[in-house]
Amino acid sequence: MAYIEGFVLAVPAANKEAYRKHATDALDFFKGLGVTRMVECWGDDVPDGKLTDFKRAVQATPDEVVMFSWLEYPSKEVRDAANDKMTNDPAMKDMGKDMPFDGKRMIFAGFETLVEDGEGGKPGYVDGSLMPVPVANKAAFRDWAAKMGTLFRDYGATRVLDGWGEGIPDGKVTDFKRAVNAKEDEAVVYGWVEWTSKDVRDAAWGKIMADPRMQPDKTHPPLFDGQRMVYGGFTPIVDG
């Protein structure tokens, strides 16, 4: 299973093409460090939440769009080695000089793949999510996420992945823990669902919500606080 470097950031809507070029230009650089796939997704259906949401996670302003993006590595060791090289590579410093977004508000961290179902491809749409899960519930959450993966795949999803965050860094302005108001005994799960198109995704959601497998098990306490879950729909603009 892949090791994931997950990102959430805010990009001025006017900079969409500049950001696409910035990401595309960086693709070969990341591939040279061992990245097997880089996906950049532009916010499309990103709702406001009562407690948490993607916009608050990166302090997005009204003229900004939230990006949900990730790098896939073959292992944590390859990812760690890549980050060490990036820290000392002049090319990385040059790329950072003219970023079309505020890097101080970008949140990022590494995630161990906990559940992966399907091979995906080049999706036409992505549902992204962040969840605060008590560390003690890791095994039970894995079992639940595997069942949800099967459910989503039954209704047309091409790939479902949930990554478990460990050692998530504290940021000066924003970070994944603050994004979901994580408590000391909670980990952050970074996950997504890949669809062939937004139409397929929209048609599937009503059926998914009505499926008995989606109903909570009232005989056991919830595995995580759903009120602090962050979610949204995104359109991939770079996938390589």
How confident is the model over 92-116, as pLDDT tens digits? 666 666 789 999 999 999 999 999 9
Residue 129 and residue 177 in contact, taking contact as beta carbons nearer than 8 Å: no
Which residues neighbour 13 within 8 Å (Cβ) at sequence distance 6 or greater?
63, 64, 65
> Alpha-carbon distance 18 to 67, whole Å?
14
Q: Kindly give, in sequence order, each residue whose CB lies less than 8 Å from that of residue 205, ignoring residues fewer than 6 positions away.
A: none
Which tens digits make up the pLDDT trace of 26-49?
999 999 999 999 999 999 999 999
* Number of structural domains in the chain: 1
Q: What are 58-85's pLDDT values in tens digits?
A: 999 999 999 999 999 999 999 999 999 8
Range of the domain at 115: 3-239
pTM of the model: 0.95
CATH label of the domain that carries residue 22: 3.30.70.100
